[in-house]
Structure 1
Amino acid sequence: MIHRIIEWSVRNRVTVLVLAALLFGWGWYAVKTNPVDAIPDLSENQVIVFTEWMGRGPQLVEDQITYPLVTNLQGLPQIKYVRGSSMFGMSFIYVIFEDDTDIYWARERVLERLGTATRTLPEGVSPQLGPDGTGVGHILWYTLEAPGMDLGEQRALQDWYIKFALQNVKGVSEIASFGGFQPQYQVTADPNKLLYYGLTPADVIAAVRANNNESGGRKFEMSDIGYIIKTTGYLSSIADIEQIAVKTVNGVPVRVADVATVQMTGEPRLGIFDQNGEGERVGGIVVMRYGENAAEVIGRVKEQMKEVSRGLPANVKFDIVYDRGELIRESISSIKHTLIEEMIVVSLVVLIFLFHWRSALSILIQIPITLAASFILLNAFGISSNIMSLTGIALAIGVIVDNGIIMSENAYKHLSERYAQWQAGQKSQST
């Protein structure tokens, strides 16, 4: 078979050169379209389900949330295994699928199963799917430089303006906010006053919840004009909460202000984000979707940041604290220089030791064609251009040259033998 291929190639040199040129062109296009990243994505094909049940201990979360969800999610098609983790107020389920499973198909199957699994969970508990990103999807971290603005205002700016603007960028799965304070109304009940009025904390909670609502009415017609009747009952200030009546004693309402203190404060935090020892900062983490080109997504996010900056208050700007784009550029540049240097050195060695330009050319022409064709395979198998893959290509240059040298020496040996036989035949004829 190999002899036939060699024979056909020798007899059809133009066709072989045209096919090689087409292969090189296809490979060059693959080089341009291949995703670029600094590190390979070796994370598992997983779907994360997280559930909040604040105020409950890990054992209770394990018994009433994690265990029921794990048992219900087992048995999904193309699944490898299910792992669960419980902590204070939180439950995490990691559903690991086969490597060749489409991630969005897997998320749909998990979401379908959650529709039936939630029936066994406590009231008010709602499991949610994690972002469609990988373990190496954190491509950019940023903080806000906002002198003169308190942390609550910075967090509100991040959550209600910046986050929504950056989430619209193509390839971004999620913008995870961190730092600062999330404002909330806090009602602190006085146990002595509750005991005096014969109330419980549950009575105060029920009163606040019942008075923070709106209800609609029907259309009312008067003088041939239709009026839509509705109520406005949502709480909008501390005074609204303080005036809520919890119960009535001898015709006198007992308000929330009579048994509790209402204030605007931040949500309790488990930690802070400090930057360079200069104080707390507010910011966000850009999470990339599965299969996206990290370099392109980072570029689009930075362009969107320029647009978002126009709407920020005065003296407020972005400070990028982690940018994988710089790591990508430095890593790819280092490998690229190594490839170029290796190709030049190999070419010089082949030219010097063979000392025959036609033989050396037949060997050296294989290097760019083989390298270009390797990117075709990288795209076919969904492998990005990263440190590992490019280093493997660099190491393979020596193998490519070795094969060419062996084939050239073999051809030279056979030609020498045939030439010796031809010379012997010529001498015998002359004698």
Structure 2
Amino acid sequence: MIESLISFSLRNRFLVLLVAAGLFAWGIYSVKVSKIDAIPDLSENQVIVFTEWMGRSPQIIEDQVTYPLVTNLQGLPQVKYVRGTSMFGMSFVYVIFNDYTEIYWARERVLERLNYASRLLPNGVTPTLGPDGTGVGHILWYTLDAPGMDLGEQRAIQDWYVKFALQNVQGVSEIASFGGFQKQYQVTLNPNKLNYYGLSTQQVIQSIRTNNNEAGGRKFEMSDIGYIIKTTGYLKSIEEIENIAVKTVNTTPVRIRDLGSVQMTGESRLGIFDKDGEGEVVGGIVVMRYGENADEVITTVKKKMEEVAKGFPQGVKFNIIYDRSELIQESVSSIKTTLIEEMIVVSLVVIIFLFHWRSALSIIIQIPITIASSFILLNAFGITSNIMSLTGIALAIGVIVDNGIIMAENAYKNLATRFEELNES
């Protein structure tokens, strides 16, 4: 078999060269379109179901949210196992699928089952799917450098301006905000006053909700001009909330200010985000979508950040604190240097020991063709160009070179012996 293949190759040298050139060109194209990352993605193929029910203890979350979801999500096709975690006010359910399951097909199956499982949960509790990212999807972290601006204003810029802009970048699954204060109106009720007026907390909450709303009317025509009638009822200040009437006692309205106090403050926090011990900061985490090119996504996000920064208040700018592209560039550069060094060393070894430039050239040509061809297989199997895969290619060069040297030396020896025999005869 091997002898026939060698004989065929010797008789059809032009065809062999043409195939080699085609593989090399295809390999070069595969190198350009190959997905680049620093580390291989070995995380499980999972779909996360997140449910929030604030103010409830972990045991209540476990009994009324996590357990119903876990039991109903079991039995989905291609599911390996389902894990659940309960904590204060939050529930996380991890649905682990087989490794070769298509991730978006898996998310559709989970959504279908959630349509039924949601009916088993308490009123007002709605489970949602987590981002379509992986465990190594955190590709870039940034903070806002805003001297003199309070943390609440920084968080508002992050949540209502930066986050929406960066989420539109191709390949970004989510922009996770961290740090600062999320502004909110807080109503602090006096239980003694509630008892005096015979009111409950739920009645106060319902009054605030019904007064923070807009309602549409109808079209009104007058003098051939149409007017759209609507009521504007969104609450815009502390005073408006204080003046909301909850109940009427002897023709006198009982307002929110009669039952407690209203203030603008930040949402309760379980921790802070500190940078270098210099104080709190506000920022975000860029989460890459499943199967995307990390290097390309990071480059696109940075370009978008330059556009977003033009709309910042004076003195505010981005401060990147983690950038995986640096590790990617260092990894690729290191592998390139190693490959060049190996090609030089191999060339010197072949020339010194065989002292035959044509043999050295035939071995050296094998290296770029083989490396380029290997990227065809990497793309075919969906493997990114990372530290592990590129290192494997670098190590495999030794095997390629060894085979080339052995074949060249054997051919050289046989030709020399044959030449001596011809001279003697």
Please give the range of the TM-score, normalised by the shorter of the 2 chains. over 0.9
RMSD of aligned alpha carbons? 1.8
**Which aligned pairs between 1:276-425 and structure 2 lie closer than 5 A?**
276-412=276-412, 414-415=414-415, 418=418
Task: Tell me the secondary structure at the aligned position of residue 299 of structure 1.
Answer: helix
Deviations 1:1-30 (A, max 9, x none): 222111100111111111111111111111
Deviations 1:254-311 (A, max 9, x none): 1110011001111101111111122111111111111211111111111111111111
1:213 aligns with 2:199: no
1:248 aligns with 2:243: no
Deviation at 1:414, TM superposition (A): 4.5
Amino acid at match of 1:46: Q
CA contact (8 A) 2:354 2:409 kept: no
CA distance in 1: counterparts of 2:221 and 2:38, whole angstroms: 68
Deviation at 1:233, TM superposition (A): 2.1
How many residue pairs were aligned?
425
Task: Tell me the secondary structure at the aligned position of residue 303 of structure 2.
Answer: helix
Amino acid at match of 1:215: A
CA distance in 2: counterparts of 1:220 and 1:245, whole angstroms: 30
Alignment correspondent of 1:148:
148
Task: Tell me the secondary structure at the aligned position of residue 397 of structure 1.
Answer: helix
Deviations 1:304-340 (A, max 9, x none): 1111111110011111111111111112212221221
Deviation at 1:73, TM superposition (A): 1.6
Alignment correspondent of 2:116:
116
Amino acid at match of 1:13: R
Task: Tell me the secondary structure at the aligned position of residue 365 of structure 1.
Answer: helix
Deviation at 1:418, TM superposition (A): 4.9
1:239 aligns with 2:239: yes
Deviation at 1:203, TM superposition (A): 2.2
CA distance in 2: counterparts of 1:78 and 1:179, whole angstroms: 38
CA distance in 1: counterparts of 2:305 and 2:215, whole angstroms: 40
Between 208-217 and 50-59, report the one with greater CA deviation: 208-217
Deviation at 1:225, TM superposition (A): 5.6
Task: Tell me the secondary structure at the aligned position of residue 39 of structure 2.
Answer: coil
CA distance in 2: counterparts of 1:218 and 1:318, whole angstroms: 47
Deviations 1:375-423 (A, max 9, x none): 1111111111111111111111110011112223443454466556656
Alignment correspondent of 2:40:
40
CA contact (8 A) 2:211 2:233 kept: yes
Alignment correspondent of 1:175:
175
Deviation at 1:226, TM superposition (A): 5.0
CA distance in 2: counterparts of 1:406 and 1:67, whole angstroms: 64
Identity %: 76
Deviation at 1:164, TM superposition (A): 0.9
CA distance in 1: counterparts of 2:321 and 2:362, whole angstroms: 50
Structure 1 spans left out of the alignment, 5+ residues: 427-431
CA contact (8 A) 2:39 2:388 kept: yes
Deviation at 1:198, TM superposition (A): 2.1
Alignment correspondent of 1:102:
102
Task: Tell me the secondary structure at the aligned position of residue 279 of structure 2.
Answer: coil
1:126 aligns with 2:126: yes
**Which aligned pairs between 1:28-67 and structure 2 lie closer than 5 A?**
28-67=28-67
Task: Tell me the secondary structure at the aligned position of residue 91 of structure 2.
Answer: strand
CA contact (8 A) 2:350 2:359 kept: no
CA distance in 1: counterparts of 2:36 and 2:399, whole angstroms: 25
CA distance in 2: counterparts of 1:358 and 1:268, whole angstroms: 75
CA distance in 1: counterparts of 2:182 and 2:172, whole angstroms: 24
CA distance in 1: counterparts of 2:421 and 2:75, whole angstroms: 73
